[in-house]
Amino acid sequence: MRVHIATDHAGMDLSSHLIAHLTGKGYDVVDHGPRKYDAEDDYPAFCIDAAEAVVRDQEAGTAALGIVLGGSGNGEQIAANKVRGVRAALAWNLETARLARQHNDANIVAVGGRQHTVEEATEIIEAFLAEPFSDAERHVRRIGQIARYEATGSTV
């Protein structure tokens, strides 16, 4: 599976750890930046680039998910969710990570680097990446409503 990752300055240490860790587990990790620490960086472009890459890969039939990191993960999740076809979920524990995949078929996970130890964040992300979508009819229906709203401005 390909994993696209982006961060802001607050998530750079976690991002570096995850890139090495996930690559070692066999994931094809693509780093969307930033490449150097800048406390004044503007994370939206990095997160949007990663989100667009996830959607492109998925539309091309490539198994892909994304990770966006920040101090809280909130702004990064918001930025990623502006990309059509993205369902980014902020995960703060193992259960929210698993449910994001099971119920929402989330294709990007947002995690706050300042909210967890490296070990906790790694476990949350591994849970997200490993969890399949349930394919339950009610979840498929709800995701379809969201996609219709993105495309038409209406859920019906």
Q: Which residues participate in catalysis according to the annotation?
A: 76, 103
Across the beta sheet with 64-70, the strand order is: 28-31, 2-7, 64-70, 108-112, 88-90
Residue 139: exposed, middle, or buried by beta-carbon count in 10 A (0-12, 13-18, 19+)? Answer: middle
Q: Are 80 and 4 in contact (CB under 8 A)?
A: no
CA separation for the pair 100, 88 (Å, rounded): 8
The residue among 153, 152, 90, 156 whose CA lies nearest residue 125 is 90
The angle at the Cα of 33, spanning 52 to 95, to the nearest 5 degrees, equals 70
